[in-house]
């Protein structure tokens, strides 16, 4: 009986000893498979990163604030954020390491971004306000005694709000309408919010010399109005 038990124990030991290398092999294989899987993920990630497209995502533009000034600016944003990216505003003639450009006049710029052997181009326009100017609508006084005229100033260009003057800037008002104006030449002036000014002289009523007769002056005035001379 003891011999039988001993034989069984020896057989069990041999069986388990044969399983140990198998478990070891399976464990090593599992570890190897995990490492291979992780290596594959790293490789795919690297390929994805290396295949990313280098491009200009956006060019943030600050336009010129007043006609003729050089206070425009822009900032180039690319898909690559590194010190190896260089930027140009003149189509690649000159480059700089900063993506920001300041002190720019109004105009169209050929923005170039370059990293290593990759180069991308984007055209950007910086705008400026139109030159300040104005037109007028005039109501001339008729030839009745004490008649007065009026005018309306209509600014174009510039940056509102505006101020208006009929005495070349001695006094200003916010309203573009002037009423109760006697016949004469008025040096109109318009000023925008940036302090830019423009002036024109306008004529209200007749500037013909008086004939000495009110009725004659009235007749001349009416005739000139009909001929659109005043």
Is it the case that residue 59 has pLDDT exceeding 50?
A: yes
Round to whole Å and give the CA distance between 219 and 213.
10
144 lies in the same domain as 105:
no
Pick from 103, 126, 149: which residue ends a domain? 126
Mean of pLDDT over the chain = 79
In this predicted structure, what is the pLDDT of residue 210? 64
Round to whole Å and give the CA distance between 133 and 72.
22
Tell me whether residue 115 is in a domain. Answer: yes
Grade residue 18 by pLDDT with cuts at 50, 70 and 90.
low
In this predicted structure, what is the pLDDT of residue 194? 85
147 lies in the same domain as 206:
yes
In this predicted structure, what is the pLDDT of residue 13? 52
pLDDT digits (tens, 9 = 90+) for 161-215: 999 999 999 999 999 999 999 888 999 999 999 898 999 999 987 655 666 777 7
Tell me whether residue 118 is in a domain. Answer: yes
pLDDT digits (tens, 9 = 90+) for 70-122: 999 999 999 988 889 999 999 999 999 999 999 999 999 999 999 988 999 99
In this predicted structure, what is the pLDDT of residue 224? 64
121 lies in the same domain as 138:
no
Cβ pair 148, 182 in contact under 8 A: yes
Tell me what percent of the residues of the chain surpass a pLDDT of 90.
49
β-pair partners for 156: 133
Give Rg (Cα) of the chain.
Answer: 43
Which pTM was predicted? 0.54
95 lies in the same domain as 141:
no
Is it the case that residue 57 has pLDDT exceeding 60?
A: yes
- CA angle, corner 11, sides to 5 and 17, nearest 5? 135
Instruction: Residue 172: give the domain boundaries.
Output: 133-226
**What's the CATH number where 202 sits?**
2.60.40
85 lies in the same domain as 150:
no
Cβ pair 72, 101 in contact under 8 A: no
In this predicted structure, what is the pLDDT of residue 6? 41
76 lies in the same domain as 161:
no
Comparing 29 with 218, the larger pLDDT belongs to: 218
């Amino acid at each position: 009986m003891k011999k039988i038990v001993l034989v069984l124990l020896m057989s069990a030991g041999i069986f388990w000893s044969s399983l140990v290398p198998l478990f070891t092999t399976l464990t090593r294989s599992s570890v190897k498979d995990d490492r291979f899987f992780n290596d594959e993920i790293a490789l795919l990630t690297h390929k994805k990163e290396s295949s990313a497209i280098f491009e200009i995502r956006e060019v943030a533009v600050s336009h010129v604030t007043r006609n003729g000034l050089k206070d425009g600016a822009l900032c180039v944003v690319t898909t690559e954020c590194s010190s190896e990216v260089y930027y140009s505003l003149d189509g690649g003639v000159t480059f700089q390491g900063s993506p920001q450009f300041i002190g720019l006049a109004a105009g169209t710029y050929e923005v170039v971004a370059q990293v290593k052997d990759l180069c991308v181009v984007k055209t950007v326009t910086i705008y400026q306000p139109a030159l300040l100017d104005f037109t007028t609508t005039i109501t001339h006084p008729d030839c009745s005694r004490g008649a007065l005229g009026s005018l309306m100033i209509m600014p174009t260009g510039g940056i509102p709000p505006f101020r208006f003057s009929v005495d070349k800037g001695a006094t200003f008002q916010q309203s573009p309408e002037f009423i109760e104006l006697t016949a004469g030449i008025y040096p109109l002036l318009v000023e925008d919010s940036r302090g830019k000014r423009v002036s024109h002289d306008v004529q209200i009523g007749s500037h013909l010399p008086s004939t000495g007769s009110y009725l004659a002056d009235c007749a001349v005035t009416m005739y000139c109005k009909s001929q659109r001379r005043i």
